[in-house]
Structure 1
């Protein structure tokens, strides 16, 4: 159930200002919803009336979240009934959810509501939405039951602005030649109801001015009489196909606080496009009083092709299709709408039953999606539990469909087509339960728009899955893009990886790739090998005949970067420079590499069976040389070892200092730390020098591509989160609890290097230690460990500030600034932390300097709630 704009505003306020002691203003909330500041202010005042906020009449007015509201209310209950007039609008819970919420808010606004401007291409449904706004106003009883809805297309009068003015406002006798009597206008006809002005950009500047003057004053003058005012109560809806900012006067545009843009047909989510096609076929079936059969090819053409006239033109296309089929169908036979040949699964538009039910995701409660079902699924990978939960939710709670009807329709059929292709390509058989899961996950990701945080969370949860499961997920996503929709669905990867985890099994010692020119050559060879061995041992890349060796190498490097490090890799190619492929790919691998030319089906089958038997690479290489007349190149890869390389582009001195720091925190003394000149390291990496074998980690001051060896720049070391550093770079290398103090020492090292040349007389080493004592006091007071890059920023700023104050008393341009509550609290405790420095250097820090420190720390601290 969609939330109103007021409810969404309150949820944003809770998120950003629940703990704020200084409150917030209406302007602070300007970006939370798409209305102007005056409307935001109105909603905030209504929330005060609801007992959720309180306000102080300062200038500007400041609002505060009431503690009880913040503690008990996370989402306000929706005030709109689920079955209001908007509930049947396709996309009301998808791409049009924000649009509908704003339209509802415009109607509900006290007085005569708010004017609404609908923007979008021709045929996207602006007129239909305008009629729904009017019907919603009737439902809410904000206008009388017999209130009028007057529609006027301004384009009809584009070449005669005076006639449009007369049509809008009416005219008096003698106002112009032929005006032999007084005549009422559209403003009179719309009194008490709605006036919908379509193509409003065709209004002349003069008529726009007349319109916004009426919106300000509530009365108008007839053409030919500027003395008699005519007061009316009108609610406005405007529509345009043009850019709002360029076709309307600023003064007119400012009078329209609610502006929404409707998406064009092809940019709507796939389930909404399918719902439109189903709806229009159902309408035609009702009109013709007979069921209409059409195949998935027809559906695919209609939902994947851009339509110039959008939804309006789509309706006309389907009407013509059905009319043609009706005309060509003998009496008593089934009406069949054909796309090309009547092949594939048949879909039916019923003349009696309701239109096909929307896709599954329409009925999934958002909170359950995010917090329970799919998150739990990523933890467990239990496909049967996921299916059962959703089936129960959809059949019992909503009563929307039977279990049998649930798995039907276009998306289901096209998903099954992709599943069949996946089986043929991978050699792995998909159970019916897994096929259902595939469809449910696809529906979820198609319909539900999610933030990066959700994707990151599901990716983290699914980190346990095998590399083979992730490869299967990638393969499946490619096939779904080809069969169902090409739109990117990043959320699908972690979900499908978890779904395939149990089926894929553990990772093989060796991974296989087949690259061949031709539309299906590689896929055919890999498919046969995988099917006959019953496992996903070869990934296929079908390359156009014009593809160069360079393009093949780039494609392989991109694929190898997604593989789990450590496993061996066998690449079978049909032609191309074997040496080039071998020389470059080996730089991106941690394990062994074997590249073989002149791939054949028998060769692929033989090698797949050896991978299945988990034979070592040496036996596969020996067998290949004896069995096939091929060219093969073998690279032994990285051998186990214990070595860390540290290199600094600025010279050996910094490298040695970094070595001293890292050495103290190593978990075992047998790990060697080697310092190396930057250019020497770069050459060795480029040429895959054997001396790099055994390298566990490279630390540099400048980012560098190191191929198969983990490389960490000092900037990453300082900025990256601790858990990422532990997992991806220092796993098994450092003592327990050693990472944070080690990074702090690195921060101090580079701070000293950075400020040494900028200090005139203070000793960098001494002042850094003194500043560190101040920073630790702040951390203790606010009970937070500052991130390393914030720590470095504070080191730099405070050290230079002390010398600046000693020399010229510091900057003072904000001494008279009126302080916020947080600033006051920060200044109040500041002297306590700087007591030692003030006494040693005889300082008296100006207010401006203190505020500058506050601004650096502000995003990280909560000044109003210290311990």
Structure 2
């Protein structure tokens, strides 16, 4: 018998490590068998499950040969003679529950239980029925000479009387042409199993006859209502339809065991690979030739939906092999390539005609594009975080079994990881979206369950040389926080992977990089965090130093930092104390750009410098601006009278200002508050000169950012994007009526949406269509029991208004009308017609599925529950 890769690995382990009491790691086994490290780790864990090895959960994990006797382990048995279901691909995986139900139906005393197999055409219902029959033979519940009788009810769908005669038999003269008595399928199946495929094609009358037999144990032949014919029959039914709508309730209630088989593309990746491999090996044996399979073709076979499922897949493989066989003159093997250019990656997989499918290393059949090392390399080249997440989910769930298929995002480690990312946001001022968070979580899970590989990490670092210094710093910060909040481990692969994931988030390197060094547990981090958050960018890297840290140690730390990031731009170092000259003289030797060192760092200083870095000011201008700027100053300020007015200004003119005034006026809480509109340049001039005319100003609302000094200033963008709780607390305290903030913001949203959409619509009235779209949005909000944020409302206003006009001229998007929908997408599509009823009627339109899906994608983050 040909030895499997797992057994070969175990034999080599016995040879090299059976007497080694210090154990071994997965990396130690790399030279024992010619397979990937991740596959070796998988086999080592399986050998632990088999009781042949023992492992210690150290870092890295160490394994030991188990020399202790295992009396509780049963003697090896021939699974083929003990359990027919072992021949079913997925019996221990996605079909485990289905197999358990089938076993229970067969083993149930007093004749077993009827089984109904449901699923799309070609998913393997007939194959499973034959395995149920084999299992019944193994268990001895039916005699070895009793048959499995199969009948497809669809063959008689147009002739119920003929089907009745075929099932129950008939007597002479029962119908024209019945010149003798004839036995039926019930007679042939007596003592065995009757498998009725496409059972939904049974007429109501035949369903009644069937359930009467199931109740009473006898039947009548067609044309004879007096002679009872007893029989003992086990039933298996199969259907491709919804049984709740196609079968009589009385018949359906008599089938307690129902098994639904998934379609091919819904099965786990390893099972799909095993299924393809099984068919290929059958062809290899039939043709008496090995098969050399292009890895790209394997990927296409296992990753593409098959309309006819497993049955069609088998035919497809048979045709591919037949074509290759007819074109080949090699007596030893045939080559299977993609049927169209490009012909593939060049990586070939060997399917031997001499090996049975049971000895196959499924993981080794996966094309390189679906293996971890290639996934990481492709990601580091492309930076496609969405694709990385999808591939890692598949790798960690269906191949490695690391993540739960039901809920991969959850648990203590997930919460700890999210806590680390939240702290990273506070430290850097950057916002990490759900895709970034998933990427960190998935990469961390990979690192936790796979030994670190220095060579692989080096390759990835070389690939990610294009990543900005800010992104690399961000990745290092993230790894340090993960070590603090999750587990202290090397995580060598994480820096290059996270650097690629964060590259677009971090943005290009600034002309100048900022560093804050301060004594204390978190002083520098606090200062940097405030400056980064207020500027909305990663301007400062913080170094928190113990109180006893000397200037020499600070210099060494900064030199290591510069060497690590290869910084060639300018550098500004803010320190709380220490010798400026010593720091400057030594750091300058390690920096190719300009250097500025400032002592006595403060929050105001950090924020000022961060703003200058953000605006990409040259070093010379920054140096000139900070000379003497941060001296301590004490001044007495006279009291300011309570504010009694709001100023509204717009850089585009007073038209918008007056419209904003009208909106705000309607929601004021107090009559004594005046609203004044002013020209933008006039406001800017008065602010610069501290004009007394601004005295008593409670708030300035403007469409364009400007510096207002001590007067609270709120831009329209902030009004739309900021959380209402923050707006109420920081800007509108005691100014607006209760519950007036949200409706006021909604009116502002509509105002600026109408202004923005008016120039883009060709013939629709922007005011009218926006009001109509608002009605649709409110129906969505009512249905999903939530209130959309303002910036989402603007997005929906703009998109739906333009979409209506697009569909009216038959220019609607249709490129995704034939895609298979997810459960959440189906639920959304089912209700959207109700919300668009008025618009559809008024404008005589029907939205294509693609357009509906585009609306869904805009709303998806709000209406689809996300993992915590």
Given the two structures, how large is their TM-score scaled by the length of structure 2? 0.44
TM-score by length of structure 1 reads 0.44
Largest Rg, 1 or 2: 2
